[in-house]
Structure 1
């Protein structure tokens, strides 16, 4: 995939454009009548790489023109609305290539346990929440026991606080949780399932059973509210599209219908849905999902010690994690999806899972050929511990790596969770974004919300400055991966850039006065003030002049 620096470079001193000459027919035909598409003009904005203020015109759902503000007067004539935004940074809207909308909405509106520094602090927050909550099942999300000195959570802890109320508190990575005795009683077969810890801890199949049960405890109205909250939060963060990584163990497939209803009722980010299930071709066609991909898990997570490793965990030498699929199953899925015109994809974190994934890809290539596999644009999620040889094959086959730089920001470094789990030597080689880029693996950035927050500039910064001290992506590469790269991952090729004819998916950022706009944004000092999806505002705090 060729990379373009995504932002326009208006040329100083160029003659003002004649809109009629540059775009001889700006109208569209509607039932035989000529109807001019509504035009919005954004003036005096800052464009990355431009020496002077820029401007951009939108007609309908497309960018009509982008250039220097000095050349914009001709585009103001007939504009439906004009926005003067001096000093505001304009970028393509971001794409978050890996989210879980229902879970994110639940985390936003429920019990947030992120940042808790001890088991005691979690229980204090939990008790305060229980005292006011009317939930049928008490949900909490985000605890991380990596650095706690007072032990980890148990079901008995929850019972002492919540009594007979069913409770589910998910670890930050979403691959394990602690549940109360009342919850255990509701889930048939839980105590006999693989991954039941005996102390209220659930992972692997036991965790899947609990999550499937949770989906039955809330109705469509509740789930719609959670999904809507997540999409509005994404829009407020400058995100114009999200890739929903749904799966039978995560959320009901009917959420696809809820998403469509929400987007028909209001302007929200576009949603590309993946369903992480093997062989579900009929469901994929019926619901119109983009692929049987996303969180179709080859393994688990490092934080929960369920990611599949070649060598044991440093902090638990009795375990090397868990594989859920073998190479033959990977190959069968890739071949089936390719023939069905769907994207295939997998959740892959540990190095052993990466090896199995690539073995399966190689077998699928031997059946279908390189060109056929490459044209399908399959994808892999996370990919934290690949080898160079494995990346070479992924690049040859055009497989997009949907990665989360904020994972490295949260858990990387010499003393972070990754180093604790797998040792410094292995941790040092993790998340090699620059190597992926150099080898030619297409990149798309995301958050895995609610695991990490909707914070695209934070992801850009993390991709540019890895905590292991190695080489990161350049600014242009990171911006591309979080915009055009996300669209490419969804097989969309006319979005993610600021140029005439591209889809009008835009984000506007307020930065400190007299600051370098892009440095301020990467440094965490930009505030989204307007997000435009398909030419329409999904989030707005600005004013209109016309």
Structure 2
């Protein structure tokens, strides 16, 4: 071959698109992803190799680069990065679906009918357990009572958690089994609801739930596995490819390890150890677990609680509740104890995430982080405040100086708007569900749901974030709409920033080259269609690490 011909051929080869190592091409899609700076990008095809993104781009260009890769036709459907829930409870979701499920009940009578039907369908169950009740939706103006439960189940103990997990409802049999009497005292951080004569009425708030909980049979290994399978299937069906599991014990940890080893996890779990006690010491024997099983399991955070919930008036407030002037809620621990627990976790290299709903609890958490930082390195561990629901406006800037992530749940705002202002009054609403106040000062807002307190469907969260309306469009224009997010901000909260809150923004959260190919196909273009349609988005396919884990059936 003469020199001029050889140079010509080399020139043509240089112009030809290179065939890249790839085993999958998802073609013909209406693709969206953020880049690492949070800017929205569009594409028509996604090239994948060994579970990771090779490139996104033009259909024709990537087809030429795909070589012998398997081709999936996206049929023009919208493709998004897999959504990440920054605060959920995986096994609790499975348990909720397999027990007496009162979520969404509209009245006390409807809830009681469900309990009665469940008990009839499970005659061999020694206890009737479940939850999801919400007396605010029932418009009772009070908590339900043991006597009301006795009317439908009296032959066995019944124990039902409130929708937020911060109160439990027992029948008389359960209270007798636990030895609860008129003489029983409120434990620290808890409250026994009582009738006019001072007798326990049947509802136990926050720390008082521990008076009943130890009597409830522990789930068997099979029940735990069924719960995990149930939860993973539901998560895949709504487009969740990852979750920060906000509070696991040693048994949960071991189950997750087993599932990771058997390649049975269909979503990436970032698990927070509940507390810094014995379970933490065992789990931490070899230090944090990072990226186990191809990044399906990471355990490098600790979950603590500062207070209860707003709906049960257990959230710790600086001033009394507007609708209960004698009550300021409940703090779960003293400041020195919280500081010590933060310090223990930081000292072992664990991120700390603390549940704080009320403005007093949030202030205590901020003070305890500041105190712990004086004694330990750990400011760079991306520590978090879970919920940051009602924060004094003067405390919000402290999230910046303390480098804290605000892990917030948009659906809490639209679920709570029927009672929040009654609880705390108009003035305190300035620091409540204040997403834009945090975003504008540069605080990372990680989006979640707190499932099963709320639905695990992340499109409910995206809808609430951008509209602050319920699914009927109420109130028109949104509830305190100045705190709305844009759709890009909301998508970022449930992708890139949820990944950042897990120390995983280099591998998850966007569809950039080198990251895991976690993505979903949905039934419409959320960036072009009316916001009112967002909550009703249907997931058609869910893929994790380049493998399909869910397909919708007609």
What TM-score, normalized by structure 2, do the two folds share? 0.84
- C-alpha distance in 1 between matches for 2:367 and 2:402: 13
RMSD (Å) for aligned C-alpha atoms? 2.6
The match for 1:217 is 218
The match for 2:308 is 300
| Deviation digits for residues 357-409 of structure 1 (CA, Å, limit 9, x no counterpart) | 111122123334xxx43311111111111234433222233221111100001
- C-alpha distance in 2 between matches for 1:259 and 1:17: 47
2:39 is the alignment partner of 1:40:
no
Alignment check: 8 A CA contact 1:511 1:521 kept? no
2:152 is the alignment partner of 1:161:
yes
- C-alpha distance in 2 between matches for 1:72 and 1:521: 34
2:178 is the alignment partner of 1:187:
yes
- C-alpha distance in 1 between matches for 2:138 and 2:209: 23
Which runs of structure 2 are paired with 1:121-520 in the superposition (5 Å)?
121-134=110-123, 135-150=125-140, 152-187=143-178, 191-194=184-187, 195-197=191-193, 198-214=200-216, 216-246=217-247, 252-263=249-260, 264-280=262-278, 281-286=280-285, 288=289, 290-294=299-303, 296-368=304-376, 372-412=377-417, 416-466=418-468, 467-494=479-506, 495-511=508-524, 517=528, 519=530
Alignment check: 8 A CA contact 1:267 1:536 kept? no
- C-alpha distance in 1 between matches for 2:84 and 2:213: 27
User: Could you say what secondary structure the match of 1:290 adopts?
Assistant: strand
| Deviation digits for residues 392-446 of structure 1 (CA, Å, limit 9, x no counterpart) | 222233221111100001112xxx1111211233235311111111112111111
- C-alpha distance in 2 between matches for 1:497 and 1:52: 12
- C-alpha distance in 1 between matches for 2:497 and 2:43: 26
Alignment check: 8 A CA contact 1:41 1:76 kept? yes
Give, in angstroms, the shift of residue 92 of structure 1: 0.9
Structure 1, 227-236 or 252-261: larger mean CA deviation: 252-261
User: Could you say what secondary structure the match of 1:356 adopts?
Assistant: helix
- C-alpha distance in 2 between matches for 1:454 and 1:204: 23
Alignment check: 8 A CA contact 2:83 2:242 kept? yes
User: Could you say what secondary structure the match of 1:72 adopts?
Assistant: helix
| Deviation digits for residues 274-319 of structure 1 (CA, Å, limit 9, x no counterpart) | 112135542331484734533x210000101100001111111110
Unaligned runs of 5+ in 1: 1-14, 27-37
| Deviation digits for residues 513-542 of structure 1 (CA, Å, limit 9, x no counterpart) | xx8656469622421111111222221249
Give, in angstroms, the shift of residue 140 of structure 1: 2.6
Alignment check: 8 A CA contact 1:511 1:520 kept? no
Alignment check: 8 A CA contact 1:156 1:180 kept? yes
- C-alpha distance in 2 between matches for 1:361 and 1:91: 36
Give, in angstroms, the shift of residue 218 of structure 1: 2.1
The 1:327/1:291 distance shift into structure 2, 3 A limit, reads farther
- C-alpha distance in 2 between matches for 1:391 and 1:120: 42
Alignment check: 8 A CA contact 1:530 1:542 kept? no
Structure 1, 159-168 or 278-287: larger mean CA deviation: 278-287
The match for 2:52 is 62
- C-alpha distance in 2 between matches for 1:51 and 1:217: 48
The 1:536/1:320 distance shift into structure 2, 3 A limit, reads same
Unaligned runs of 5+ in 2: 1-13, 34-39, 194-199, 290-297, 469-478
The 1:436/1:93 distance shift into structure 2, 3 A limit, reads same
The match for 1:12 is none
Give, in angstroms, the shift of residue 212 of structure 1: 4.0
2:542 is the alignment partner of 1:531:
yes
User: Could you say what secondary structure the match of 2:149 adopts?
Assistant: helix
| Deviation digits for residues 18-65 of structure 1 (CA, Å, limit 9, x no counterpart) | 344xx5xx3xxxxxxxxxxx6111111112389986000111121011
- C-alpha distance in 2 between matches for 1:393 and 1:219: 44
